A and B are shown apart, each in its own frame.
Chain A
Amino acid sequence: MSYVPSTPAQRQEMLRAVGLSSWRELYRDVPADMLLEGELDLPSGMSELEVGRAVSEMAEKNTRFSTILRGAGAYDHYIPALVKSIPAKEEFLTAYTPYQAEMSQGVLQSIFEYQTMICELTGMDVSNASVYDGATAAAEAAAMCRDRKCRVTLISGAAHPDVINTVRTYCYGTGDELRVVPVKDGRTDMDALREMLTAEIASFYVQQPNFFGLLEDCDALGELTHAAGALFVMGCNPISLGVLKTPRDCGADVAVGEGQPLGLPLGYGGPYLGFMATTNKHMRKLPGRIVGETVDAKGERCYVLSLQAREQHIRREKASSNICSNEALCALTASVYLAVMGPQGLKEAAEQCMAKSHYLMRGLTALPGVELVYTGPFFHEFVTSLPRQAEVLAALEQNGILGGLPVEGGVLWCATEKQSRAELDKAIAVVEEVLAK
């Protein structure tokens, strides 16, 4: 099976029509000794029925948990039915990048609507059409903040380890320096940051809520950063923005984040969605595709890929980023999610995340030896100490519950609007049972 529709007879006819008598002649420019002799060491092709069976068997080898209390950068939220069905539509699914505006208005308008929603969510002026994920969004933000004079990037040590490592990798690429601001009591160490904000600093990145689930004092961090003449970048959880102060109101120059919570499945880590927004002042430094409104030759409103002179296909080695493909379908998914939820639904989801995670925290910390490792307000994740950690997590897993993630100093738990009180009670009871043994 190779999805080739032409029949063998047609293929022969076509070969003759181009003046050739054999397949070999199609590859006459390939040196003969380089051609593969014999067949690839791959299994024989399969029928659709067999393929379906083979791949489903692989899926069955994963454990399916009925309750997931683990976050750490990938969150188990409820995905409304419409959010699954819209992006699966054949046209949205199988289009390429909308280079030809005259036959791509649907994609272009959906991106324009996505950009607007991201601006509304973050309070920023301009959003791009998405980047690969939250980690690359942070790395791209660091790159757009650097200029000839200020080359060094600061990142909070309380950011997600994969984000820190990705930003470090991008900095390694251009040969620029990344400095990690130490953590104190689970939050960015403000005094250390003050010391580290020297003249060569281009930007400082903080994650809100941070990797340990805690809320950072972003107003103060932003003020410090600006006072030193550097730009302030915030990595935000988009669901939390249903209730949390916007990055704009915290003074951010660039707001980025991982868009996975907006209707994308966990999917073993991808595809996810990097969102990225900034102020009008920095609009032209924003990397990636951007859709703009204009009019057509008849004066009708329409949409096009805009500000393209920033991009690699025009600027080549002078472009600040090489990105072209992004995560358009994931951006569409996020838009449908935000539209389905609406302003009230998003707020409700965020409030329930807070309520459920605090309920879980209270239940767990009532057990002997389980204590909050850090104090202070949190959104939907928190770290506790946990005696007999491996045993407890294994018992939860046997009960169909994926417990928190072991991190330095304890376990990082997460609860969202998706878990019912009964599910949380069950998890707490399993932990209690192990600890009572």
Chain B
Amino acid sequence: MNYPVELQYSRDHEWLRMEDGIAVIGISDFAQSELGDVVFVNLPEVGDDTTAGEPFGDVESVKAVSDLVCPVTGTVCEINEELLDAPEKLNEDPYGTWIIKVENVTDTEDLLTAEQYEAECTH
């Protein structure tokens, strides 16, 4: 299992990276492995508001569905449309595959470092 140190993590298994004030969000390696083969991603629309700790979409595997929980409050400014045709990218490269980008970030959950998150997952 991989926990890149340059990222921050939420307890709901999303990773976050800030790029010029914009929050880039994806799911962790642990999350994708727990989910199994991802078959579809329900994405929000550009312009939708997000709230820290609230779902912004979900990911489907064959026999399960999991909420995607947003670690920040803000406005969706970009969605990764590539995922609509190739959801398997979340399995193949979870850290190289972002899901949404959020701007106007006004609030952020208490996030974990890679080390803390790894401890949480292996607990």
Interface residues of A (CB under 8 A from B): 284, 307-309, 314-315, 318
Stretch from B5-13, B58-66, B75-83 contacting the other chain = B58-66
Kindly identify, within residues 42 to 62 of chain B, every residue whose CB is under 8 Å from any CB belonging to chain A: 42, 60-62
Closest 4 A-B residue pairs measured CB to CB? A309-B60, A309-B65, A314-B65, A315-B65
A232 CA / B64 CA spacing, docked (Å): 31
User: Which single residue of chain B is at the shortest CB-CB distance from A318?
Assistant: B65
A314 CA / B64 CA spacing, docked (Å): 6
**A residues near B64, Cβ cutoff 8 Å:** 309, 314
Known: A309-B39, A309-B40, A309-B60. 7 other contacts (CB 8 A): A308-B62, A308-B63, A309-B61, A309-B62, A309-B63, A309-B65, A314-B63
**A residues near B61, Cβ cutoff 8 Å:** 309
Kindly identify, within residues 19 to 57 of chain B, every residue whose CB is under 8 Å from any CB belonging to chain A: 39-40, 42
A52 CA / B42 CA spacing, docked (Å): 54
Interchain residue pairs with CB less than 8 A apart (5): A309-B39, A309-B60, A309-B61, A314-B63, A318-B65
Interface of chain B, main secondary structure: strand
A284 CA / B60 CA spacing, docked (Å): 11
**B residues near A308, Cβ cutoff 8 Å:** 62-63
**B residues near A315, Cβ cutoff 8 Å:** 65
A307, A309, A315, most chain B CB atoms within 10 A: A309
User: Which single residue of chain B is at the shortest CB-CB distance from A313?
Assistant: B63
Kindly identify, within residues 77 to 119 of chain B, every residue whose CB is under 8 Å from any CB belonging to chain A: none
Q: Give chain B nearest CB distance to A5 CB in angstroms.
A: 36
Q: Give chain B nearest CB distance to A205 CB in angstroms.
A: 25
**A residues near B40, Cβ cutoff 8 Å:** 284, 307, 309
**B residues near A314, Cβ cutoff 8 Å:** 63-65
**A residues near B42, Cβ cutoff 8 Å:** 284
User: Which single residue of chain B is at the shortest CB-CB distance from A315?
Assistant: B65
**A residues near B63, Cβ cutoff 8 Å:** 308-309, 314
A284 CA / B57 CA spacing, docked (Å): 14
A308 CA / B63 CA spacing, docked (Å): 7
User: Which single residue of chain A is at the shortest CB-CB distance from B48?
Assistant: A148
User: Which single residue of chain A is at the shortest CB-CB distance from B67?
Assistant: A318
User: Which single residue of chain B is at the shortest CB-CB distance from A147?
Assistant: B45
Q: Give chain B nearest CB distance to A399 CB in angstroms.
A: 60
Q: Give chain A nearest CB distance to B32 CB in angstroms.
A: 16
A91 CA / B65 CA spacing, docked (Å): 33
A307 CA / B60 CA spacing, docked (Å): 9
Q: Give chain A nearest CB distance to B70 CB in angstroms.
A: 15
Q: Give chain A nearest CB distance to B12 CB in angstroms.
A: 16
Q: Give chain B nearest CB distance to A368 CB in angstroms.
A: 63
A314 CA / B40 CA spacing, docked (Å): 14
**B residues near A284, Cβ cutoff 8 Å:** 40, 42
Q: Give chain A nearest CB distance to B81 CB in angstroms.
A: 14
Q: Give chain B nearest CB distance to A98 CB in angstroms.
A: 16
Q: Give chain A nearest CB distance to B45 CB in angstroms.
A: 10
**B residues near A307, Cβ cutoff 8 Å:** 40
A318 CA / B62 CA spacing, docked (Å): 17
User: Which single residue of chain B is at the shortest CB-CB distance from A311?
Assistant: B65
A384 CA / B117 CA spacing, docked (Å): 75
Q: Give chain B nearest CB distance to A99 CB in angstroms.
A: 12
A307 CA / B65 CA spacing, docked (Å): 11
A284 CA / B61 CA spacing, docked (Å): 14
Q: Give chain B nearest CB distance to A422 CB in angstroms.
A: 58
A428 CA / B100 CA spacing, docked (Å): 69
Q: Give chain A nearest CB distance to B50 CB in angstroms.
A: 13
Q: Give chain A nearest CB distance to B84 CB in angstroms.
A: 10
A284 CA / B40 CA spacing, docked (Å): 10
**A residues near B65, Cβ cutoff 8 Å:** 309, 314-315, 318
A39 CA / B95 CA spacing, docked (Å): 68
A307, A308, A315, A318, most chain B CB atoms within 10 A: A308
Q: Give chain B nearest CB distance to A395 CB in angstroms.
A: 61
**B residues near A309, Cβ cutoff 8 Å:** 39-40, 60-65
Q: Give chain A nearest CB distance to B66 CB in angstroms.
A: 10
A308 CA / B39 CA spacing, docked (Å): 11
**A residues near B60, Cβ cutoff 8 Å:** 309
Q: Give chain A nearest CB distance to B86 CB in angstroms.
A: 16
Q: Give chain A nearest CB distance to B61 CB in angstroms.
A: 7
User: Which single residue of chain A is at the shortest CB-CB distance from B55?
Assistant: A318
A309 CA / B35 CA spacing, docked (Å): 12
